[in-house]
Amino acid sequence: MADTKVDLSTLLASSIHDTKNSLGMVLNSLDELLEQAGPDGECRCPAEKVGQLQYEARRLNDNLIQLLTIYRLEKHHYSPDIREWAISDFMADTVALHGPLLEFRNVGLELRCPQELHGYFDRDLVAGVLNNAINNALRYTRDRLRLSVTEAQGGLRFSVEDNGSGFPQAMLVSGSGSAIDFGAGRTGLGLYFSSLVAGFHRNGEHRGHIELTNGGELGGGRFSLYLP
Amino acid sequence: MAVNLSRKRFLVVDDFAQMRSTLRNMLSAYGVTEIDVAANGDEALQLIERGHPDVVLCDYNLGPGKNGQQVLEEAKHKGLIDGTTVFVMITAENTSEMVIGAMEYRPDDYLAKPFNKGLLHSRLTRLLEKKSDMADIDKAVRQGDLRQAICLCDERINAGKGHASEFLRLKGEFCLQLGDHDAAEATYEQVLAARRLGWAVLGQAKVAYLRGDCARAIQLCEEVIAENRSFMEAYDWLAKALQRQGDLARAQDVLSDAVKLSPMAVPRQRALGDVAAKNKDFAVAEGAYRAVLTFGRQSLHHEAGNYTRLAKALSSNAAGREALKVLQNLRKEFRSEPTALLQASLGEVGAYRALGLDTEAASAFDEAGKRFEALGGEVPRAVTLEMANGLLLTGEKEKGLAIMRSLVRNNHEDEQLLAEVQEAFSEAGLEEEGREIIAATRNEVVRLNNQGVELARRGQLEAAMQLFEEALLAMPENRAINLNTAQVMLAHMQEKGATSVRLEQVRACLDRVRTLEPTNPSLLRLAALHEKLAREMPDG
């Protein structure tokens, strides 16, 4: 289904590896907190740490949802529910979900989307793609993030841009998640999931796809999802 | 349009106390004060009935007992919630698993856990806005005025502000319900001209099926499934069209595929059982009917027939003893319901006969006969048919024929029932005689009805009234006779003045039609006339 066929078992192994790293980080933090518990039995914890825990927990959750959805899509157990949605409503949901964490991390969020734009897509699947891209951008951005939706190629383009140092060259070349890099936490799962979801959206002969680029107005990485 | 969440009444349903309090805290943060909580489905249904919440937030998984979908179906089926209530299904993951039922039993939205305060607020605000946006359409539907509902949809579609597909989808369904196939087809074409969407192609398939063009319906359904293998509703229509074409083997295959993808859909399992039984594939029928019992137990689909169908499949599959056990459970579970006990007796007749125990079969049939008499005609059609079938098979032919005639008289336009009656005749070795009886009885009703209509047309309202009143005694459930009785009586009252007795008779006729066919196009007009005359009565 994806343009570049990824070996699912490799993907699974690397995702488990990544998930374990995340969980390890969460468990260590919890251990530290417990060790620092005062005689009154109260744990005091810097808000920054809680924010980090929240971020890791969300990543874990997103990873698991992605794996489950990939499994369902491939087994035909998922019934895509393609409907017409008001883009401004859909993006309002996305901002509402991510707003608090972004604010907490002092990352400025900008939303650009025309009021009257409508599009046809599976809301849960596309939300999953955006969540993944936003979490990813949040890890690499300096302090700014921009979400935008525009009409493009006869369909829609959803973009998530940041002002970090951009995607590594290897990822730009392969484009679809074959660059697996344990160290940087890039497992390819998110990109594989995203291209699978993109490909599931069709309009006549046209299929959705994803695109990774660097530069743009914010100067960092830009993830784009095109839906026909 | 601003919606004030804080004034709304909420019901939170979740089996985990932690989740209940999380949701309650989120709602309190929006200023909501009226929040009921329920820990299981039964509690939820009680609170919905008592508290009439504006919004229900219900988890899909509720532990043992009903799940969220079953709560929703039962609440809607019993009329505890209507179109004005917002029902949000909270799910552990994405929604596909739950998209099993018919449109009318879908929640207003799904929300996948985990979500935060902000997302819930964003969703709730929008859902409530949408409800208030749709209030007039919903009201028209509740009043059975689908023409008006279609007009209101058209207003939205023509305003061209986007989101038209939602209203086109509704409009298509209303047109289908009204039997306006041309308008439905045009609606779906309008959608498809802009974009190929599965539900619109399926809409075209429904139109084709309803017009009797099964080949086209089959082709369209197959296209939908090829494009989206888990579009469950398409399997249902494909199987229906195949059955009508007489291709029962393929219909069974299609439904078998479908229940593999969605085993919990009770009506689909039942359809599979029915078609497999017709194919004499009793092993498959048994499996499907077992699934109906298991998955239907906590739902509004739980009924005596689920046991008798399974028992019948078992009896046919040389498992009479097991059939008797199933019927024993039926007796236990429905011990205070005379109709269910009648069904149990009829099932036992078949089981004993399969076991070669003719004496026991005869005494079970005796019991059935007594129960049938005691119920005095208040028996569902399917059970009546089974009773008549039993009478024909045991040689009590005249009694059996009398019941068959009455079934045909009351349902002379219902092709499906007439086919079942014919099948029962054939089973009793009375194929030809049955065919003649059905045709003759049917003609008799048509003639009587035409005669009444003709009298009314010539202005002989008294005579027409008398004729229809007599006809109604013989066929109290007949839709056409009920409608025409009401019509003639109303016309008579318009000329000669209303009486409370006649008004009451008309009301009873219209009520019966409403139960049989809520969207009957004549119903609305006659009900309005009835209401007008009732208002004008001197002493109210």
How does pLDDT run across B410-459, given as a tens digit for each residue? 999 888 899 999 988 998 889 999 999 999 999 999 999 999 999 999 99
Interchain contact A124–B (C-beta under 8 A): yes
pLDDT band of A45, cuts 50, 70, 90: confident
Alpha helices in B411-430 (DSSP H): 415-427
CA separation for the pair B31, B331 (Å, rounded):
51
The sign of the torsion formed by the CA atoms of A184, A188, A193, A198 equals: positive
DSSP 8-state assignment for residue B96: G
Phi/psi region, residue A211 (left: phi>0; alpha: psi -120 to 50; beta: rest), is beta
Mean pLDDT of chain B: 91
Closest residue in A to B125 (Cα) is A89
Interchain contact A86–B (C-beta under 8 A): yes
Q: Write the single-letter amino acid at B345.
A: S
CA separation for the pair A209, A226 (Å, rounded):
5
Interchain contact A154–B (C-beta under 8 A): no
What is the pLDDT at residue A183? 42
Q: Which residues of chain A does B112 touch, with a Cβ-Cβ cutoff of 8 Å?
A: 65, 124
| Backbone φ and ψ of B266, nearest 5° | -65, -50
> Each residue of A190-221: pLDDT tens digit?
888 999 999 989 888 899 999 999 988 888 99
ipTM of the complex: 0.85
Inter-chain CB pairs, A–B, below 8 Å: 78
Q: Does residue B502 contact residue B493 with C-beta atoms inside 8 Å? A: yes
What is the pLDDT at residue B484? 95
Q: How far is CA B422 from the centre of its chain?
A: 24
The token pair at A199 is 């490909």
Of B112, B114, B229, which has the smallest distance from its Cβ to A124's Cβ? Answer: B112
CA separation for the pair B236, B221 (Å, rounded):
9
Strand partners, B168: none
CA separation for the pair A141, A135 (Å, rounded):
10
What is the pLDDT at residue B317? 92
CB atoms within 10 A of CB B110: 21
CA separation for the pair B506, B465 (Å, rounded):
11
pLDDT of residue B463 exceeding 70, the answer is: yes
Q: Write the single-letter amino acid at A61.
A: N
Mean pLDDT of chain A: 84
**């298991």: which residue's tokens?**
B294
Edge-to-edge strand ranges of the sheet holding B35-38: B35-38, B10-13, B55-59, B86-91, B109-112
pLDDT of residue B96 exceeding 60, the answer is: no
pLDDT of residue A63 exceeding 90, the answer is: no
Q: Does residue B210 contact residue B181 with C-beta atoms inside 8 Å? A: yes
Cis, bond preceding B64 (omega within 30 deg of 0): no
Closest residue in B to A79 (Cα) is B230
Give mean pLDDT, residues A108-123.
90
What is the pLDDT at residue A5? 54
Closest CA to B342 of B371, B374, B363: B371
> Each residue of B148-176: pLDDT tens digit?
999 999 999 998 766 788 899 999 999 99
Give mean pLDDT, residues B303-321.
95
CA separation for the pair A116, B194 (Å, rounded):
17
Closest residue in A to B118 (Cα) is A96
> Each residue of A162-180: pLDDT tens digit?
998 888 887 776 554 444 4
What is the pLDDT at residue A50? 84
The sign of the torsion formed by the CA atoms of B88, B91, B94, B97 equals: negative
Please give the model's pTM, rounded to 2 decimal places. 0.83
DSSP 8-state assignment for residue B476: T
Find which of A61, A66, A76, A79 to mutate to test the B interface (most B CBs within 10 Å of its CB): A79
